Amino acid sequence: MALFNMTDLRARLTRGQRLLGIDPGSKTVGLALSDVTLMLASPFAQMPRGKLSVMAAEIGRIARKQEVGGLVIGLPLSMDGSAGPAAQAARDWAHAVSDATGLPAALFDERLSSSAVNRFLKDDADFSRRKRAELVDQMAAAYMLQAALDASRAQG
CB atoms near residue 132 (< 10 Å): 16
String of DSSP letters for 52-108: HHHHHHHHHHHHHHHTEEEEEEEE---TTS---HHHHHHHHHHHHHHHHHT--EEEE
Q: What is the pLDDT of residue 84?
A: 84
Mean pLDDT on 33-53? 95
Distance, in Å, from the CA atom of 69 to the CA atom of 20, rounded to the nearest integer, reads 8
Q: What is the pLDDT of residue 125?
A: 55
For the stretch 88-131, pLDDT in tens is 999 999 999 999 999 999 999 876 655 555 565 556 555 566 66
For the stretch 122-155, pLDDT in tens is 565 555 666 656 677 788 899 899 989 998 987 6
> Per the structure, how many domains does the chain have?
1
Q: Which residue has the higher pLDDT, 115 or 80?
A: 80
Mean pLDDT on 46-72? 96
Domain of residue 150 covers 3-155
Query: The domain that contains 84 carries what CATH number?
Result: 3.30.420.140
